[in-house]
Each structure stands twice: as C-alpha cells, then as structure tokens.
Amino acid sequence: MKEITKLFKNIDKLVFMSSSMGNSEMDWNYNGTGNTKVTCENDKIFFLDRITIDDRLSYEDKKMWVVNGDELEFWHFRNNEYEKIFTFSKWEHNTLMAKEYLCADDVYMGKVEVDNEDIIFMIEIKSQKKNELIKYKYFK
C-alpha cells in the first residue's frame, strides 16, 4: 500500500469519464478534466476534485482514502459526511480490487489500477435500471 499512497500524494490533475452501458436508463455520458488538491492527515489522504464537465459544468467532489494495514479504504463525501464505499485488499498485476458495496438496489464494484505514475480509479454501478462505468484518471 505504501507505493500507491505515495503516488496518491503526488497527483494534481484528473480526467473524468462516465458512461451508460447497454440496458441503462440513466444516460450518464459525460467527460471532464480538472485538478485535485491532495492533503494528508495521518493515514488519511483527502482528494478535493474540481472537475469541468463537457466544457460547461463545474463541480467539486470530495474523496478520502484511508490506509488500514494491508487494506486501502475509499470514502466518498455525501450528505455532509464521509461514507465508506470500498475496501481494497487484493492486488493483481498493478490492480487493487474491492469488495462489492451495496446501496439500495445498486451494486458498486471498484478497481484501482496503477499505470506508471498514473492512478486509474473505476466504479461500476449495476442494478435493474443502471449499468454505469465511472472512471477517474489521476496524474501529475
């Protein structure tokens, strides 16, 4: 985990993409670019993403990564607090896989890939109405 957290601490840019896949009713098809401000506090790494979507909409997104022994936890800021979404614990060829996260009818699956010094964070969301892929590419 030390290697990936070192990479996390050095990123400052991102590319964002969301795609609705087959049978999705959501129409989550967006692309964006932005900057990430990274701050650290003990074993916590905070991301403040500022993203411009399709060159017209801007928003902020807060994330927290927590190193917990041999695990990496992903927390997302929503409803004025951080909510734990994924626990990554299984390394496979520069990839961290997470246990599934259930939210109402939705099943979230997460993956973090390391490509040289880039970090690619992917979230898949599936349910009766959703079949989504959300992808963040973080880099220096």
Rounded Cα gap, residues 104 and 126, in angstroms: 11
Average pLDDT per 10 consecutive residues for the chain, totaling 140 residues: 85 98 95 97 96 94 94 95 93 85 95 93 97 98
Return the sign of the alpha-carbon dihedral for residues 125, 87, 112, 66. positive
Number of domains in the chain: 1
Boundaries of domain holding 77:
2-139
Instruction: Give residue 89's pLDDT.
Output: 86
Q: How many CA atoms lie within 13 A of 41 on its CB side?
A: 4
Residue 88, domain CATH: 2.40.128.20
Rounded Cα gap, residues 51 and 116, in angstroms: 23
